[in-house]
Amino acid sequence: MDNTNATNSSSAVPRRIANIIINALKGGVVPRVGLEYVTVGRTQEINAILRDIAIIEDGGATFRFVVGKYGSGKSFLLQTIRNYAAEKGFAVADADLSPERRFAGTKGQGLATYKELIRNLSTKSKPDGGALPLVLEKWISGVLTSVRGEYPEGHPEFDIAAEKRIFAVTNSLEGMVNGFEFAKAVNCYYKAYRTGDDTLKSNVLKWFRGEYPSKLEAKKDLDINLIVTDETWYDFLKIFASFMVSAGYKGIIVFVDELVNIFKIPHSVTRQNNYEKILTMYNDVLQGKASHIGFLMGATPQCVEDRYRGIYSYDALRSRLKDGHFSSDGLKDLSAPIIRLNMLTSEEMYVLLEKLRDMHAGLFGYGNTLTHEDLMYFLNAEYNRVGADTHITPREIIRDFIELINIIHQNPGLDVAGLLGSNSFALSKNSLTESEQHSDFVGFDI
């Protein structure tokens, strides 16, 4: 095939990243990397969250729900913000809720969520999780570097000056709930680092990760008479946020997706306990009791608005989260605690398809074979399926499109009209407006 038509945008995407993106989107999941190459739309929503990030950097705290239908792009948006925040110097932690991971439970489900968050703790230099040891050692290294500006290493005053700086940080943590024990653990890690005691370092990390099953074992190994539990895990996140700033980060942002798993809990008392935990965190953040921390939670409209099982079934949350009298489909307050995602417009979907077309061509090394008319033909087909006006989602359109370009690439004799016709798509050439068919669409990229 002629390779001269490959676009600059496709060649700008590294092949490894392009392969991850194409495979992930074809499988209906959000890729962990390369989202900046395919992000379109969501200008207002992203700007609202970026303002939250600025507040967190300044020492504040924020709490948001990102609400959208399955396949509407909420997980994509959360992942995009996660990558952006890590790039800008924040620590980020993410977890998907499940039957085993909740905010509260009788079998350690809240602690399981904390463990997942700490396991997935990431930074710019450690983007795939497991960043806790790096954070601790970066902090210690920073302390030692600042002391070297006063005394050469080996000087009698060196260790004394270093310990003074260590204690200055740990003393600032002791005033927080459970901060005294956290500070002791930090001191233990510093001593283990300076003496090369790998066993002690491992035990401290185990304690930070919430992996000690009993206080007795923690007391024996670390002389700390406290462990992370279902009741205390949120307090530890707040302490971590303050510690992250001491370690040179701008704060911590916590991403929790799949809140629908709370909605699915069959027992009403257990559901209410989980909603009560959300209320505790929400109140804490908005009342200024937390700093340098933000929460972004992904949910479906039903799991928020259902009055029998959803978040709105808990009156204290409903009264705080429901829209005011002046919000409507056309007018929404983007500073409200709930950000509702509308479906991408046809213009935005067109831009996304262009990006995917070019990326696919660059990945497999061929010239673009799909024209503007082909993309419009495909979008017409998708938007004019029976029930598409209420049920079609970006996820479905993307999966269909990647399947289409795969088949056309693998079968050079096929064209879009022939393939769509063979699958009996109902088409309407007037489904998109005249301006949509001929305009130069503009998307938004981070």
The pLDDT value recorded for residue 288 is 92
Closest by alpha carbon to 355, among 395, 398, 392, 396?
398
User: For all residues of the chain together, what is the average pLDDT?
Assistant: 85
Contact 389, 25 (CB under 8 A): no
The pLDDT value recorded for residue 314 is 95
Output the pTM of the full model.
Answer: 0.83
| Predicted confidence (pLDDT) per residue in 279-297, tens digit | 999 999 999 999 999 999 9
The pLDDT value recorded for residue 329 is 61
The pLDDT value recorded for residue 229 is 95
The pLDDT value recorded for residue 375 is 87
**Pick among 3.40.50, 3.30.980, 2.60.40, 1.10.3470: CATH of 42-123+249-340:** 3.40.50
Q: Is the dihedral of CA 137, 142, 147, 153 positive or negative?
A: positive
Q: Count Cβ atoms within 10 A of the Cβ of residue 148 and give its class: 0-12 exposed, 13-18 middle, 19 or more buried.
A: middle
Polymer length in residues for the chain: 446
Residues of the chain with CATH 3.40.50: 42-123+249-340
The pLDDT value recorded for residue 380 is 83
Report which of residues 278 and 167 the model is more confident about. 278
* Bridge partners of residue 63, in order along the sequence: 295
Report which of residues 31 and 207 the model is more confident about. 207
pLDDT (mean) for 337-343: 86
pLDDT (mean) for 333-346: 82
The pLDDT value recorded for residue 327 is 59
| Predicted confidence (pLDDT) per residue in 374-425, tens digit | 888 888 888 877 555 556 778 888 898 999 889 888 887 777 777 776 544 4
Q: What is the spatial distance between Cα 236 and Cα 226, in angstroms, rounded to a whole number?
A: 12
